[in-house]
Amino acid sequence: MLPAPVGEPSSGNPNHPVDAHRSEVPTLNTATLLFKPRARMLLLLGDQLIRNAGIAVFELVKNAYDADANHVKVDLLNVDDQDNGRIVVSDDGVGMNWEIVTQVWLEPGTDHRESQKKAGAKTPIHNRTPMGEKGVGRFAAHKLGRSIALVTRQAGAPEVVVEIDWEDFLKDKYLSDTPVSVFERDPETFTGDSSGTRIDISRLNQAWTRGLVRDLHRSVTSISSPFRQPNGFLATLAVGPQTDWLAGLLDLHRVREMAPFRGTCLIEEDGLQMDYSFEPPAGMEERVTPRRFKEKRTSFGSIVNEENRAVREGIGTLCLDVCIFDLDPQVLQFLVSDRKGLRAFLGQNGGVRVYRDGVRVFDYGEPRDDWLDLGARRVNAPTRRVSNNLLLGAVELDGVSSRGLIEKTNREGFVENDAFRMFRELVEFALAQIVAERNLDKDRIRQAYAATKLKEPVLHELEELRAELRKRGLEKELGDTVNRIEQEFLDVRDRLLTAAGPGLTISVVIHEVEKGMSGLVDATRTNAPLEDLSALASHLAELVDGLTYLTRRSGRRRERAGVLIKQAFFNTGFRLRAHGVEVFNGTEGGDEDFAIRCTRRMVIASLMNLIDNSIYWLANKGHRDKRIYIGTTRALGGGPALLIADNGPGFADPPAYLRQPFITRRPEGMGLGLHVVDEVMKAHGGRLVFPEEADVALPASCRGALVALQFKEE
């Protein structure tokens, strides 16, 4: 059989000639074509590569760093009004001329900065290594608003103006069909010999709340390391007209001076050099003396070996600076007058952040980013380890020698390659050396102030025993034995708590049933109507039946926040009235009522736990006008929340302690209430939050203890 002509398929039948009509069948198309990017692709870059507004602003600030700026300022103007608000980012850097704007800034994905870094180029004024790499950071502005006006100028040159309406990229089909307005003009913004860049963003993508603004302020002011700032670089944020939105925020540089434990670890190729110091607060020197310790180690254990030494070379020299705080009441009384403010500050800013050439790498050290797993480690051994809310730390990297650490395109940290894994292990190793020294001084403080330690089962009795031994002069003979008993007890307790898991088994059962029984007993003693007694008894039966709720995810449905609040107040109504407590349901007074998917019993029991705590402390402190408020808010960012506040004395201990089991100041308390609430929120994918008063709107009459049950956004 003859082959079919080129372009014509054969019939496949050897007895059938190729049909003459096959020539009418068109040949397959062949062409060399170009990609035709859609205009909306630039919008997708902003949405997908920049996770949130904080990262977006950081990208714009980082551009100012690369431009050799001394100062970059972020102005938030009427940002609670989505249509009329503006975000303005301005710097005094070298600026851009017409060629750079048109040939670099307007070219997405340019390798301009990457080429500079590979060539070892430095900025002309401050000798900085450029931070940018991928040429996409400019699209951060799209994350913030729909209209952008950029004004930039190099000294001695005209100003260049770029105006972008991002909605045009939705109207036109292809990127090549979407023009951007670019023109030169005589200097109006940067006059005389000045230079710089100003980006004015309007028609905002969201209305900003007080909580979001305060979070952004923390991010902007943390862009530069509090330990080793890059030469001549300062980032500031201002908001108007709501100047009170930033009220009460402490300064990172001032707070770190309050830390009694400080350490620095320099990690080089040949080992680690540590410099640790302990400075007791003024007033404590009579009982506890200062101490300083220096050490050099030439080994990192099993972290670095001959097989992975090439990986180690991609990390370069790094330096860990750490300030560790002591939030025990007996230390805080000497340390700072605004104890609550310090705890709140550390809750939002604590942790170990990462800086490359003095500029921050997000998200390491953010409130919900425990990249060193300090929280979980401390749960396993709370007396010997530190959590994020007890320290301010910074890891400094050299931009040139740390090329093995590659930033993700979405600006959420480093790619988790072999270099990053070794980097994390090296930081953990260095921090462990500092914490080991801190523990020695922490033990000295405990012994010196044992009489004022928190009441904790067994440990409280051990401290009383120590006091009696001191009175009788028997510390030398029996002190070591008591110390050994304490440490062995802590080790056993910590292991059992870890194994018990979130349910805490029988302890949770006792705690929950005890609260239900108390309400029923109180109602009976006050001759409550039979129908009320029946309702409470039914609730108690339901509670007992559902005591596996901490590990069970079934039975969830959508519930209104106002209904849950009303039910919790009803279940505790007899005790509230007996103690003369006035209650406020915020959803009945104007707060937004939202729906959440939850297990009804779990949330109501959590609210009852918090109400019970408030009742006790309101009565314990002798308050006459007792008030409890439960309302709602969206000001925290990340999801709706139930707010619980009272006008009592507030919390005397840091959130890390409050969430732990068996920590209590109540003489007969088990110390499980807030721990159970924390586990309930985790089971719902939410969190137990201890916000600052300034972060949320509260009734003026409820300025004591404040907690929030924040649920994930649906």
Residues 6+ apart with CB under 8 A from 235: 61, 64, 71, 72, 73, 74, 220, 221, 223, 224
pLDDT at residue 1 greater than cutoff 80:
no
- For 376-403, what is the mean pLDDT? 81
Torsion from C-alpha of 359, 212, 105, 404, nearest 10 degrees = 40
What's at 501, amino acid-wise?
A: G
pLDDT of residue 201: 94
E strand map for 586-689: 595-598, 626-633, 641-646, 687-689
pLDDT at 214 over 60: yes
* Lowest-confidence pick of 485-499, 538-552, 562-576, 658-672: 538-552
Residue with tokens 């080992």: 271
617 pLDDT tier (thresholds 50, 70, 90): confident
Cα–Cα dist 492/6, whole Å: 83
454 — pLDDT class (breaks 50, 70, 90): very low
Question: Average pLDDT of 539-565?
Answer: 64
Residue ranges in 166-226 assigned as alpha helix (H): 168-171, 210-221
Which of 36-45, 293-302, 584-593, 689-698 ranks highest by mean pLDDT? 584-593
pLDDT tens-digit readout, 646-672: 988 887 666 766 777 666 666 555 667
CB atoms within 10 A of CB 340: 17
Say yes or no to pLDDT of 297 above 90.
no
Which of the residue ranges 161-165, 253-257, 372-376 has the most confident prediction, judged by mean pLDDT?
A: 161-165
C-alpha to C-alpha distance for 375 and 363, rounded to whole angstroms:
16
Where are the strands (E) in 106-244, listed by range? 145-153, 159-165, 181-185, 196-204, 234-240
The confidence band for 520, taking pLDDT boundaries of 50, 70 and 90, is: low
So what's the pLDDT on residue 276?
96
**Does residue 604 carry a pLDDT above 50?**
yes
Confidence of residue 426 (pLDDT cuts 50, 70, 90): very high
Percent of the chain at pLDDT exceeding 70:
76
Distance (Å, rounded) from C-alpha 214 to C-alpha 345? 11
Contact between 227 and 365 under an 8 Å Cβ cutoff? The reply is no
Give CA–CA dist 4/27, Å, rounded.
13
Q: What is the pTM for the complete model shown? A: 0.54
Do the Cβ atoms of 58 and 50 come closer than 8 Å? Answer: no
Cα 605 to Cα 508, 540, 642: the distances in Å are 12, 11, 14
Across 114-122, average pLDDT: 67
Alpha-carbon distance of 262 to 260, in angstroms, equals: 7
Of residues 556 and 539, the one with the higher pLDDT is 556
Specify the range with the lowest mean pLDDT, choosing from 103-112, 213-222, 447-456.
Answer: 447-456
Inter-CA distances, 158 with 1, 92, 151, 417, Å: 77, 16, 10, 45
